[in-house]
């Protein structure tokens, strides 16, 4: 019987896997190639505050990217968190003694030992080294957004980050002859933004925009500054906002979406309106991006090259294997079609059971936001729902001009009565963070607000 081939992976990867003249980042009025980026990283590394762990609080995407590279050169571990509040940073410091921070903006306040550093972008003398970094080197600890509870940190080795970026570049057709121009609407501190707008230019044929790109007019201007082929990295909420703005966008090769499920009809509207194709990334902070799909083509996801999934009756939790990564159990229910294709059935932490019936909070929220006139909405379960089987869900909706009672009547026609909220509360906006998620604390505050009003 033939023995299975043993797959080996390199023991190290370069800090930047691009040629010295390859453009990595585009700033307003200036392009930065790999050689210039490496010089900026070496210069900044010499100025970083001492400490084993460091929090990168840079607001500018280029400064953030240089800071990550500088920390790797310095042997420091970057802690990436979307909670920049003094309270959140103090909590981190309790878990990571000696933690320090830096930022590019003097207005950024930090309770940690802190420095304000602004990386240079101008050419300087001498060639900067592009070192080989051991695959097992701990490069970052990335924290979850807190949408399912207290933020949890996940360790990222350099080998994991480098190989996943290479695979993403291949999946999305980024080539040396036609490098992609990436405009990201998501912050680099989030795993999704970190992978697509910082690491991708280091290890795939892509250059990322480093100017304003949050509001629709900024996005249009940023895309106009970038050469084709253009790729927009965004979220379902931002896709909807861009479409509702009515602004015409420069030609897009591809739109990439993540952080929340994308409705097929919204994806189809974007494809028609922008004459492009819209693809979703599947992943999580725990494991990073591992698969993608073109939303309008159906519900089957394809794993990235070199990523494999396994699920069986003896292994109820699907395991993900990838280069330089410990096999990881997904916190999602999936139907594995083979080692590279699967259907997503829902997150384990998202499932609720009431009256002997099961449902997904995200699925209920999708039904709510699919109603006419609804701009945003969410279902929230009480914290003690498992101890109170007769507890009712709450729901909050942003729907100017719609009567909540009329919307509730429409919900009665679409969902099991046991999952109907006791009230549908109209609000001006939902407390979503920079990537469109509602943290567990914010959801709890919404529920407490409803309880206090009754």
Q: Which of 327, 345, 363 is the last residue of a domain?
A: 345
- Both 329 and 367 in one domain: the answer is no
Sole residue written with tokens 């509360």: 425
At residue 201's C-alpha, the angle toward residues 10 and 28, to 5°, is: 160
Whether residues 57 and 119 share a domain: the answer is yes
Residues 339 and 361 in one domain: no
Residues 158 and 65 in one domain: yes
pLDDT at 73: 97
Do 255 and 387 have their domain in common? no
**Statement to judge: residues 314 and 401 lie in one domain:** no
SS3 425: strand
155 part of a folded domain:
yes
Percent of the chain surpassing pLDDT 90: 54
DSSP H or E stretch at residue 191: helix 191-194
Residue 63, Cβ neighbours under 10 Å: how many?
Answer: 24
Burial class (CB within 10 angstroms; exposed 0-12, middle 13-18, buried 19+) of 346 = middle
* pLDDT tens track for 134-177: 999 999 999 876 655 577 889 999 999 999 999 999 999 999 99
Mean pLDDT of 378-391: 69
Cα–Cα distance between 104 and 128 in angstroms, integer?
A: 22
Q: Is residue 2 part of a domain?
A: no
What is the model's pLDDT at position 4? Answer: 44
Element housing 344 (H / E): strand 341-347
In a domain, 250, yes or no: yes
**Residue 215 lies inside a defined structural domain of this protein:** yes
pLDDT averaged over the chain? 87
Let me know whether 168 and 283 are in one domain: yes
* CA atoms of 333 and 338, how far apart (whole Å): 15
CATH of the domain at 436: 3.30.300.30
pLDDT the model gives residue 5 = 47
Q: What is the pTM of this model?
A: 0.84
Q: Which residues of 297-335 are buried (b: 16+ CB within 10 A; e: fewer)?
A: eeeebbbbeebebebeeeeeebbbbbbbbeebebebbbe
What CATH number corresponds to the domain at position 298?
A: 3.40.50.12780
pLDDT band at 24, cuts 50/70/90?
Answer: very high
Collapsing DSSP to helix, strand or coil, 307 comes out as coil
Report residue 64's pLDDT band, with 50, 70 and 90 as the boundaries: very high
Q: Tell me the C-alpha distance between 427 and 417, whole Å.
A: 23
Considering the domain architecture, whether residues 338 and 380 belong to the same structural domain is answered as: no
Q: Is residue 7 part of a domain?
A: no
Last residue of one domain, picked from the residues 326, 345, 364: 345
For 253-297, write each residue's pLDDT tens digit: 999 999 888 889 999 999 999 999 999 999 877 778 999 999 999
Res 1: pLDDT: 42
Domain that holds residue 179: 12-345
- pLDDT score recorded for residue 44: 93
Kindly give the residue spans of alpha helices, DSSP state H, lying in 315-369: 361-369
Distances (CA, A) of 125 to 23, 43, 121, 128: 19, 12, 13, 9
Residue 3 lies in a domain: no
pLDDT tens-place string over residues 330-369: 877 788 888 899 888 776 667 777 766 777 788 888 889 8
Is 279 in contact with 146 (CB distance < 8 Å)? no
Tell me, yes or no, whether 299 lies in a domain: yes
Verify that 248 and 127 share a domain, yes or no.
yes
Number of domains in the chain: 2
Structure tokens at 239: 């896709």
- In eight-state DSSP terms, residue 298 is -
The pLDDT value recorded for residue 2 is: 44
């Amino acid at each position: 019987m033939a023995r299975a081939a043993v797959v080996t992976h390199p023991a190290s990867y370069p800090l930047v896997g691009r040629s010295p003249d390859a453009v990595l980042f585009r700033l307003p009025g200036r392009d930065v190639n790999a050689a210039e980026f490496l010089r900026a990283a070496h210069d900044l590394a010499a100025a970083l505050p001492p400490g084993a762990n460091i929090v990168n609080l840079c607001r500018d995407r280029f400064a953030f990217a240089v800071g990550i590279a500088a920390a790797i050169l310095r042997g420091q571990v970057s802690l990436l968190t979307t909670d920049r509040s003094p309270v959140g940073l103090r909590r981190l410091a309790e878990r990571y003694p000696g933690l320090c921070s830096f930022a590019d903006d003097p207005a950024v306040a930090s309770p940690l030992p802190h420095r304000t550093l602004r990386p240079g972008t101008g050419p300087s003398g001498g060639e900067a080294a592009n070192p080989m970094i051991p695959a097992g080197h701990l490069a970052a600890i990335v924290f979850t957004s807190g949408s399912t509870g207290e933020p949890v940190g996940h360790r990222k080795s350099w080998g994991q980050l480098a190989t996943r970026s290479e695979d993403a570049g291949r999946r999305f057709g980024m080539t040396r002859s036609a490098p992609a121009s990436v405009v990201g609407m998501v912050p680099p501190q989030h795993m999704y933004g970190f992978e697509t707008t910082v690491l991708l230019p280091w290890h795939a044929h892509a250059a990322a925009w480093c100017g304003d790109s949050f509001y629709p007019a900024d996005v249009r201007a940023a895309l106009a500054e970038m050469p084709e082929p253009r790729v927009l990295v965004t979220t379902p909420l931002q896709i909807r906002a861009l479409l509702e703005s009515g602004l015409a966008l420069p030609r897009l090769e591809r739109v990439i979406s993540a952080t929340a499920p994308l409705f097929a009809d919204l994806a189809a509207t974007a494809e028609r309106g922008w004459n492009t194709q819209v693809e979703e990334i599947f992943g999580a902070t725990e494991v990073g991006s591992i698969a993608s799909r073109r939303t309008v083509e159906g519900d089957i996801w394809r794993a990235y090259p070199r990523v494999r999934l396994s699920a069986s009756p003896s292994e109820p939790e699907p395991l993900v294997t990838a280069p330089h990564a410990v096999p990881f159990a997904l916190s999602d229910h999936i139907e594995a079609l083979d080692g590279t294709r699967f259907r997503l059935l829902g997150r384990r932490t998202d499932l609720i059971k009431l009256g002997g019936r099961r449902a997904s909070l995200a699925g209920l929220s999708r039904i709510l936001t699919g109603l006419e006139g609804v701009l945003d909405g969410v279902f929230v379960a009480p914290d003690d729902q498992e101890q109170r089987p007769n507890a009712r869900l709450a729901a909050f909706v942003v729907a100017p001009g719609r009567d909540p009672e009329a919307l509730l009547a429409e919900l009665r026609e679409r969902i099991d009565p046991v999952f109907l909220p006791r009230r549908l509360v109209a609000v001006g906006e939902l407390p979503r963070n920079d990537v469109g998620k509602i943290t567990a604390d914010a959801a709890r505050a919404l529920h407490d607000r409803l309880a206090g009003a009754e």
